Chains A and B, each alone.
Chain A
Amino acid sequence: MITWIGNKLTEIFGTTLAPYVGYVLIGFAIITLVVLMAVISIYLERKIAAFMQMRLGPMRVGKWGTLQAFADVFKLMLKESLTPAQADKQLFNIAPYLVLTVSFLAFAPIAFSPSLQLWDLNIGVLYVTSVSSVGVIGILMAGWASNNKYSLLGAMRSGAQIVSYELSAGIAILTIVMMSGSLSVSGIIQSQADGWWIFKGHIPAIIAFVIFAIASTAELNRAPFDLAEAEQELTAGFHTEYSGMQFAMFFLAEYTNMFIVSMLGTTLFLGGWMPLHIAGWESFNHLMDKIPPFLWFFGKVFISLFMIIWFRWTFPRLRIDQLLKLEWKYLLPIGMVNLVFGAIITWLGWIL
């Protein structure tokens, strides 16, 4: 089918233009997919939160409220995007686009299934981590340009938080990179053909997974680390002054970032699109192979997503100094020691 589309494009646009049109189409498809998934996860989050709190959640739009998220998006599209009179208008208007663009960029090297990968970069993991940290500039921009003290405080908190938690997230990723000996996303997934890293990486991989889970939740600015938008303290933090579609972009970026983090975690620790294999259980392994790889991938992604949602609706929020204490006194030292242990294990070749 892909070749058929390719031939059709060459027919219409000629050989020089066709690849570019193809890129645009692929980009469009990915963006549509991501937006659709974000909308689904918004609905999921609302329903999960409601059930955890003995509520029914959205029930009115569509059967069981399934169309609620679409209705919300439609409402936000129709709303006016206000710009405060005293705001730095250019920065104020650029910031949401920057945040959203950055989170879309990080999708490029993700392998959804063996055949579906946009850009098999040999430093894919490095690319994702570096690109996703550009998003903090958008947040700082939004907070500064709003000319609102709450926004500024939120942006500053967010800056401090993301810069510090990136360290331990990076170290947790490094543990796996070291074990698998590859920085490319497909290479890491291939290295897990005989078992996922969380199973065959011994204790260092499990500790790295826990650190990655905590640090990436913190990088997402979600509860219990949602200090940047701490509703009870800073009303809405860095996006206090945003409304309409500009607000929706921050919202969308939050959910796309959730997907990226889940996808990265799935790729690194849970074997990407690799099916679950248990050594010795041949018939079981055969059965698992029957399930298509993209279902494996999205199943794992949604499980990690569910964990992030579960954290949010259970825990109270940390204070800014406690947040930094958790990073610098607990996660970073443990992560570093863990990295050394991981190195020793890799060096001795104890990996299953």
Chain B
Amino acid sequence: MNAVKRYFSSIFNAIVALLKGMRLTGSYLLHPSKILTQQYPENRETLYIPERFKGRVYMPHDENNEHNCTACTLCQLACPNGSIQIISKNIELPDGTKKKVLDRWVYNLGSCTLCQLCVDACPSDAIVMDNAFEFSVYNKSKLIFDLNRPGSKLKEKKTEPQV
């Protein structure tokens, strides 16, 4: 008798538990307002991207086309996978002394893992992580670019006005 009772109670409990699951999925079916997915390219304007999001390494330039990079190559040394190559050149200053300045800041986005170690290593805050993220290209050579803009130069340190 007990076995029969157990047999039927097991069927009953199983049906109740299964119906609970069906109630859950059914309730989500009836509440389309709970849908979480978004239509990506359409919602580009309203897309929320946190300001710290690491999309690529970027070198900010000011309105005079000047940047902060002193070509010290600390970022190149900090990079674990050789995505950074600093090419510097020597220019002659008006007073005759020679100075090493940045020629090209070559960045390979294809091999970059966005670990932020270069930004962390930079002593003069010349590079930052940017939020941009749509970088798909058909040829990986297009993922290598110069971060410094053509004709840009090092930001002059503010000299104290002579009294």
Contact = CB atoms under 8 A, between A and B. Distances in A.
Q: Within the complex, are A and B direct neighbours (CB within 8 Å)?
A: yes
B35 A313 contact: no
B36 interface: yes
A311 B22 CA distance: 7
A330 interface: yes
Interface string A195-212: 000000000000000000
B34 A52 contact: no
Contact of B26 (A310, A315, A330): A310
B32 interface: yes
Contacts of A13: none
Contacts of B21: 314-315
Interface in B2-47: 11, 18, 21-22, 24-26, 28-29, 32, 34-37, 39
Contacts of B22: 310-311, 314
Contact of A56 (B24, B25, B29, B35): B35
Contact of A54 (B18, B26, B34, B39): B34
Interface string A158-187: 000000000000000000000000000000
Q: Which range holds the interface residue count of chain A? A: 10 to 19
Contacts of A59: 39
Q: Is the interface of A mostly helix, strand, loop or mixed?
A: loop
A126 interface: no
Nearest to A48: B29
Q: Is the interface of B mostly helix, strand, loop or mixed?
A: helix
B25 A54 contact: no
B99 to A, nearest CB: 56
B11 A54 contact: no
A53 interface: yes
Contacts of A284: none
A330 B11 CA distance: 9
Contacts of B39: 56, 59
Interface in A32-86: 48, 51-56, 59
B11 A51 contact: no
Interface in A304-325: 310-311, 313-315
Given A59-B39, A330-B11, A52 B18 contact: no
B25 A314 contact: yes
A54 B33 CA distance: 9
Contacts of B24: 314
Interface string B118-139: 0000000000000000000000
Nearest to B27: A52
Contacts of B34: 54
A338 to B, nearest CB: 13
A314 B22 CA distance: 6
B28 A52 contact: yes
A59 B35 CA distance: 13
Contacts of A53: 28
Contact of B32 (A51, A310, A311, A314): A51
A269 B28 CA distance: 29
Nearest to A210: B15
Nearest to B23: A314
Contact of A313 (B18, B25, B37): B25
15 contacts: A51-B29, A51-B32, A52-B25, A52-B29, A53-B28, A54-B28, A54-B35, A54-B36, A54-B37, A55-B36, A55-B37, A56-B39, A314-B21, A315-B21, A330-B11
Given A310-B25, A311-B22, 20 more contacts: A48-B29, A51-B28, A51-B32, A51-B35, A52-B28, A52-B29, A54-B34, A54-B35, A54-B36, A55-B35, A55-B36, A55-B37, A56-B35, A56-B39, A310-B22, A314-B21, A314-B22, A314-B25, A315-B21, A330-B11
Interface of A: 48, 51-56, 59, 310-311, 313-315, 330
- The 10 tightest CB contacts between A and B, nearest first, are A52-B25, A314-B25, A51-B29, A55-B37, A54-B36, A314-B21, A52-B29, A314-B22, A54-B35, A56-B37
